[in-house]
Chain A
Amino acid sequence: MKVSAEELAAYADGQLEPRRQAEIARSVAADPALAAEVRSHRALKAKLSSHFAPILSPSTPEAKPARPGDRVRKPATPKDARPHRKPGNRPLWPWILIAAVAGFLVALLFFPRGEAEPPPVGGTYLEAPVAQALDEQLVATQPAEATTRILISFRNADGEYCRVFSGAQEGIACRDSQGWRLIYPGEGGVSGGASDLLTRAQEMASSPAFDAAEEQDALDSDWR
């Protein structure tokens, strides 16, 4: 069965009508090359979603002072509650993208990568609801209205699972036998925003950030 590039991408997004979705699912199951393409499409979507999650998260900007490296955030609303935009109206995202690029440039200015300080060792243990979010949420499937949003997951040099999170509290936590240990920022400290957190995470990580499948495997193993 012939599957066009558009159909394969729509299949990866779950946008086809059920019968066609099922037909293509059979083709994908029988063709490793198609399956690889679907994985690539889904990995890209997961990466973009997680990357812009801090910008689209429902945090309240007035609750925290602006910091170098902060990106401009807009309140996220459930998709079906968003005001309908008429055809021809420009979407909001160009402003989001501009803000993200500006935030990145500011982050580069204030947090040059070569001079970043190492993350502090140790840390306190997080409690619910943040710990629960770290236990249960996946980047690709977490609800838009989630109070705590997971940005990326990775393993540190000790082999522990670690996750970068944002929301009312934001930081990097790693899982050990006692629970989610806050690694950065230190207790009472304040991070420099998403760019700062990602830079710290890169310094801590022993491998690339997890894709959706790796994250699911980690969750299935209870992050141990």
Chain B
Amino acid sequence: MQEMRKIWMAGQGAGQKSVQPGEIERALASLPDEQRDAVLLVMVEDHSYPEAADIVGCSIATLATRLVRGRNALLERLGDAL
């Protein structure tokens, strides 16, 4: 069983790894509130950009900028595991 876990962790490739339980929560928690709002509304709750912008009370352009910054930060932390 330990061997299996090592295989999962190693991701069968250089630089690859799997997302560990809690890693996503920690990555989200590291984001500024505004970026986390945007990421979760669009990428988890599946709201459209106009809906998400309406909910947080900003323009669609601002929402898009927050969203890109948030997802880039998440990709930096989780990218190899995706």
Q: A79-B47, A97-B40 are in contact. Are A89 and B82 (CB under 8 A)?
A: no
Query: Which listed residue, B16, B21, B49, touches A195 by the CB 8 Å rule?
Result: B21
- 17 residue pairs bridging A and B, Cβ less than 8 Å apart: A40-B79, A40-B82, A44-B78, A44-B82, A47-B24, A47-B78, A48-B44, A49-B44, A52-B44, A79-B45, A93-B40, A96-B44, A97-B29, A101-B22, A116-B1, A202-B5, A208-B12
Q: Are A79 and B5 in contact (CB under 8 A)?
A: no
Question: Which of B1-32 touch A at CB < 8 Å?
Answer: 1, 4-5, 7-8, 11-12, 16-22, 24-25, 28-29
Chain A nearest CB, measured from B9 CB (Å) = 8
Given contacts A49-B44, A91-B37, contact A44 B74 (CB under 8 A): yes
The answer to whether B82 touches A211, judged by C-beta atoms less than 8 angstroms apart, is yes
Over the window 183-224 of chain A, the binary record of Cβ atoms lying under 8 Å from chain B Cβ atoms (1 yes, 0 no) is: 000000000000100110011111111010000000000000
The CA of A53 and the CA of B78, in the complex, are separated in Å by 18
The residues of B with any CB-CB pair to A shorter than 8 Å are 1, 4-5, 7-8, 11-12, 16-22, 24-25, 28-29, 36-37, 39-49, 54-57, 61, 64-65, 67-68, 71-72, 74-75, 78-79, 81-82
Name the distance in Å between A5's Cβ and chain B's nearest Cβ. Answer: 5
How many interface contacts (CB-CB < 8 Å) are there between A and B? Answer: 130
Bitwise, A32-74 to B at CB < 8 A (1) or not (0) is 0000000011011101110110001000000000000000000
When the two chains form their complex, are residues B46 and A79 in contact, meaning their CB atoms are under 8 A apart?
yes
User: Contact: A97 with B65, CB < 8 Å?
Assistant: no
Contact between B12 and A93, CB atoms less than 8 A apart:
no
A41 cross-chain contacts in B, Cβ below 8 A = 71, 75
